[in-house]
A and B are shown apart, each in its own frame.
Chain A
Amino acid sequence: MKSIKTKLFILFLIVTMAALIPTLLTIRNSISSAWQQNVSIELEQKSNLIKTLLQVERLSLQKLVLLIAEEPTLKMSIQLADPITIQDTLSQLQSMLQADLIMITDADGNTTAEILESSYKTKQNSQASIYPIIKNSIEKGELGADLILSNNTLYLVACHSISFDGNIGGSVLVGKALENRFAAFLAKQSGSPVSLLANNSVLASSWENRRIEPAKLMYLSNEKWQGSSFDFKMPTMNMKLFLQSSLTGLEKRIVRLEQQLIFLGIVVLLLAGFLSYLFSTQLSGPIAKLKVAAGEVASGNFNTEVTIRSEDELGELGRSFDSMRRSLIQQRKELIRTESLKKDLELAGKIQASLLPRKLPKINNLDIACKLVPSNMVGGDYYGFLEENHSNKFGCVIADVAGHGTASAILMAMARSVIQAESKRIKDAAQLLQKVNEILFPDLEEAESFISMFCFHYDESKELLKFANAGHNLPLLYRSKNNAFDALDADGMLIGILEDSEYELREVSVQKGDFLVLYTDGLVEPQNIDKQQFSLERFKSVLGSNLSLSAHDLVANLYDEVENFAGNEAYSDDRTCVLIRW
């Protein structure tokens, strides 16, 4: 697995190369294109020079033809119209002028004599007027210049009429052969190979006998050449100049440029690599720190501090991580404290359970069952049996401290101590409750709480139950004789509400088949999902429909019914039940 640092480094390098390579290629192409353009410009400049040379040549020919046209000997020989004389005259002129072409015509444009490349011949009745320049000079008497093609040779010519006494008697034409030799001359002057073309044919070239076809790029003599064509226009005929420039030097320069660009690219790449390394190190450093810290946290060590001194997102992440780490330390402390509290509560629950009676009173013919289920580990409910000296007497108390949980449990423990202590001395239920209220009132007032409590004493010999109530849920006495429940009510305020509360003592007789149920509100108030309470009516119904069951089974059945009805809601309050069956 590659690290983030390596990945970032590679990424930065790829991005740099992606930007660098096209840039270098663009630079290379731009420069080489500019250089190639320079070659074109250079060729054009050379073509202009050649055109100038051709113009100079044209002017020279025109001057020459003017001189010849005024030559008396020639005039006279033409006037005589004697071919031998004309030829002699031409021969003399040729030897003097070194022209490539000299042509004499009569007034009708017929060629009377022609010297072509140092050899002359007489052309009787030859129609030279096919050259417009001659026709024009005879008809208009003008001095002209043009290009003509004769015997596959291109000539630059100048022509002028010959006059006798104001009448045009013929014309004289002088030409310069534009051959390989002349192309070589032009090439030497311009510094580039030159070819001359007319009618799409190469007629002369500084390459001499080598066949050159005009092309923009070509390979000749192991060199690469760039070529350009330029027009050279004369009145009746156009000529093309084809100039070439060697690209060898240019290509060497381009190769050098490429080498320089590659060197530059490598330098930039190395620099980018170095910067990428620095940047990726700077970027991945905090991530590495976080990774180490996260590993430490994962292994349970929360003491590795993360310090990232940057103001960017990574710095923020580092600070968040450190905040989370400190929060985890705090939470772990809280967890340890909670665990400790939980253990304390479990212990408190055990202690509280130990405060409940360990054994039930053993009275003949009495079936007694008790059950207390706190909503949490500890609760505010209490039940207990009061000691009696006589074996066929016993007392019982059930109490519910307002609320539930630890505070209620402590108050319950206090109440239980007071009850157990005072019940040894006070054998009257009403007086017992009054005493308990008197003792607990200051503490309950301070704790902003109160206790509901029901207490009775039973004398088996008289089958008499004497009871008092301090605002507790009215116990139910099932009368087998009537098959009905009586609620055992007696006047009395909740414990802890008034300092000087007094309680009514009442009595009721019981007989075989009856049973008494003491309970707390946690068995009648739980609600189901429809927000309906289990209710006292349902409570009575459950008891009344299972009369044949033992006290234990009746209580167990009652708890099952409440839990079936209310589900988890049944555990929202402490639930206590004491059932005594005669």
Chain B
Amino acid sequence: MEIELLELEEGILEVRPRENLTAANAAEFKLMVQENLQDTNSLDCYLFNFIDLDFLDSSGISAIVYLNRQINKLNKKLAIVYESEQIEEVFVLTKLNKLLNLFRDYDEAIEELAE
């Protein structure tokens, strides 16, 4: 699975998977972010950029929920940006839209994290 990691000037680590998060790759995504979180030099803000994604299945949701818990435990911030309607539906359906920092606009997400 191709996952791009970018350290932004605002002190944000952008994690950008290039494929839909499903049972086939959710574990890999989870592991990559988890390893970064364990790094003592890890940044305080994380942005999951799902612009390239069309869809998340329950494994993808599970990975996001887990990572959200870990980030919160470390008093760090997470924002998720996406464009897909289907992803929107999943977040709404599972009511995770009430739990997660979700954005449809990339700049807004950066702004929120940079505060």
Contacts and interface: CB of A to CB of B under 8 A. Distances in A.
Q: Is B one of A's binding partners?
A: yes
Interface size of A as a range: 20 to 34
Contact of A402 (B59, B69, B95): B59
A244 interface: no
Contacts of A533: 55, 86
B96 interface: yes
A111 interface: no
Contacts of A494: 65, 94-96
Interface stretch (A30-38, A65-73, A445-453, A548-556): A445-453
B94 A471 contact: yes
A572 interface: yes
B55 to A, nearest CB: 7
B74 interface: no
Given A521-B57, A573-B57, A493 B62 contact: no
Contacts of A471: 93-96
A525 interface: yes
Nearest to B61: A402
Contacts of A498: 99
Interface in A514-566: 521, 525, 533
A497 B58 CA distance: 14
B58 A572 contact: no
Contacts of A572: 23
B45 to A, nearest CB: 22
A493 B93 contact: no
A471 B58 CA distance: 11
Interface string A395-408: 00000101110000
A429 B1 CA distance: 41
A497 B65 contact: yes
Interface in B39-70: 55, 57-59, 61-62, 65-66, 69
Contacts of A473: 93
Contacts of B58: 400, 402-403, 452, 521, 573
A403 B99 CA distance: 20
Contact of B62 (A445, A448, A491): A448
A62 B115 CA distance: 144
A115 B18 CA distance: 135
Given A400-B58, A403-B62, A497 B93 contact: no
A91 B61 CA distance: 153
B57 A497 contact: no
Q: Which of A491, A492, A497, A573 has the most CB of B within 10 A?
A: A497
B57 A525 contact: yes
A50 to B, nearest CB: 106
Interface in B17-40: 23
Contacts of B61: 402
Contacts of B23: 403-404, 572-573
B32 to A, nearest CB: 16
A359 B44 CA distance: 54
Contacts of A445: 69
A516 B86 CA distance: 23
Given A448-B66, A572-B23, A493 B59 contact: no
A474 B92 CA distance: 11
Q: Which of B58, B93, B95, B96 has the most CB of A within 10 A?
A: B58
Contacts of B86: 533
A450 B62 contact: yes
Contacts of B66: 448
Contacts of A525: 55, 57
A229 B23 CA distance: 107
A474 B93 contact: yes
Contacts of A404: 23
Contacts of A448: 62, 66, 69
Interface string A416-457: 000000000000000000000000000001001110100000
Interface string B83-95: 0001000000111
A572 B65 CA distance: 21
Contact of A492 (B55, B57, B95): B95
Given A521-B57, A572-B23, A497 B62 contact: no
B36 to A, nearest CB: 17
Contacts of A521: 57-58
Contacts of A497: 65, 96, 99
Nearest to A525: B57
A498 B57 CA distance: 20
A573 B62 CA distance: 14
A404 to B, nearest CB: 8
A473 B93 CA distance: 7
Contacts of A403: 23, 58-59, 62
- The 7 A-B pairs at the shortest CB distance, nearest first, are namely A471-B94, A402-B62, A493-B95, A448-B66, A471-B95, A402-B58, A494-B94
Given A494-B95, A497-B99, 6 more contacts: A449-B62, A450-B62, A452-B58, A493-B98, A497-B96, A525-B57
26 contacts: A402-B62, A402-B65, A403-B23, A403-B58, A403-B59, A403-B62, A445-B69, A448-B62, A450-B65, A452-B58, A471-B93, A471-B96, A491-B95, A492-B95, A493-B95, A493-B96, A493-B98, A494-B65, A494-B94, A497-B96, A497-B99, A498-B99, A521-B58, A525-B55, A533-B55, A572-B23
